[in-house]
A and B are shown apart, each in its own frame.
Chain A
């Protein structure tokens, strides 16, 4: 990666050398300011408001079957939420699919509550339907806060999802030739002032995986990983990934399994 990057830009790099000194002093001050800003935000994360809503939705009877989601099996047995997020995505016997928290909740809404989830899948980001799903995912993720990520790739389908996700990570297309790796394929770079984790590395994968769902201060919205990925694809100039689809689960699987052993710090707070 470094090599291909360096080749075409050697002339520009020389130019950078001229001014690097001055730019660095200015840059350090900027970074310090941003650090202080981020620190100040940690004091109160509005994600807590969404966790409360998510818990309420989980426990509320709804749908044609007038049932709550309290018997939903997130992989630790029916009704067990504590610690479940740290083990997702995983393969589920009943669906014979690898699912993340968000796609699994859709399965439970269908099976337990009798809800036709197609309207939830189709709904726009920021719609009441998607807000419900985000709140539920936020609450589930918070119930694994402090746990170590422990995602299995032992089942052949889990292994397959991991590999498909890895391949998707490097898939370049669209008018800008962007892939996930264009921005997240190397260490220590940023877009504007936004640090970009190198997601193919354990440290970078952890930085991404363990801090979503997160409250976005820029929009005042609560984003789950599904929304995070969808917006990455939007900025990649890709079409929209379908909520809960294999491509989203595959990327999550790649990230989650690469970050195994890291500590869940969800829900997070982001710019």
Chain B
């Protein structure tokens, strides 16, 4: 267990105070990933928008891409989604929720040491299509599934 050295936190706090960070605060955040945080893609308001920002063109549905999720989510705050690609040479997997204000939920770089099989939990504001987008060898493949979001509890 290691935690952030205090001096850098202090620095970031000061930076934030000066208003140098953007609304999403990513400009000066340290980067672990190879790529910069893809603001344009995460700002996408629809699947088409986000795909465009990700450079995905000529996408095609593929049986080698799987989206595993229940048909109905009892609560939109937590919707488990598993994304699997059997496409050889998969390098990226994205999970997109068409009707969310921020359509792109997650973007995984699939390196040589990784199996193209990831599970996470997403928020869904309403019933929507959820798409798994896979990039392999410069080509793009998708699988889409509608997940219904229901109102649970007493609504009070």
Contacts and interface: CB of A to CB of B under 8 A. Distances in A.
Interface string B76-95: 01111000000000000000
Q: Is the interface of B mostly helix, strand, loop or mixed?
A: loop
A69 B65 CA distance: 52
B152 interface: yes
Given A33-B71, A37-B73, A40-B69, A271 B152 contact: yes
A217 B70 CA distance: 16
Contacts of A235: 154, 156
A211 to B, nearest CB: 15
B119 A34 contact: no
B77 A191 contact: no
A63 B132 CA distance: 51
B150 interface: yes
A34 B75 CA distance: 10
Contact of B70 (A33, A191, A194, A219): A33
A34 B70 CA distance: 7
Contacts of B73: 37
Contacts of A194: 152-153
B15 interface: no
Contact of B75 (A33, A36, A43, A271): A271
Contacts of A191: 153-154
Interface SS majority for chain A: helix
A118 interface: no
B16 interface: no
Given A43-B119, A191-B154, A194-B153, A36 B77 contact: no
Nearest to B120: A44
A217 B75 CA distance: 7
B39 to A, nearest CB: 25
B80 A43 contact: yes
B118 interface: no
A81 to B, nearest CB: 23
B154 A271 contact: no
A192 B154 CA distance: 7
30 contacts: A29-B71, A30-B72, A33-B71, A33-B148, A34-B70, A34-B150, A36-B70, A37-B74, A39-B70, A40-B70, A40-B80, A41-B78, A41-B80, A43-B80, A191-B154, A192-B150, A192-B151, A192-B153, A192-B154, A193-B152, A194-B152, A217-B75, A217-B77, A217-B78, A218-B77, A218-B152, A218-B153, A235-B156, A271-B75, A271-B152
Given A30-B72, A37-B79, A271-B153, 19 more contacts: A29-B71, A30-B150, A33-B72, A33-B148, A34-B70, A34-B150, A36-B70, A37-B72, A40-B69, A43-B80, A192-B154, A192-B155, A194-B152, A217-B75, A217-B77, A217-B78, A218-B152, A271-B75, A271-B152
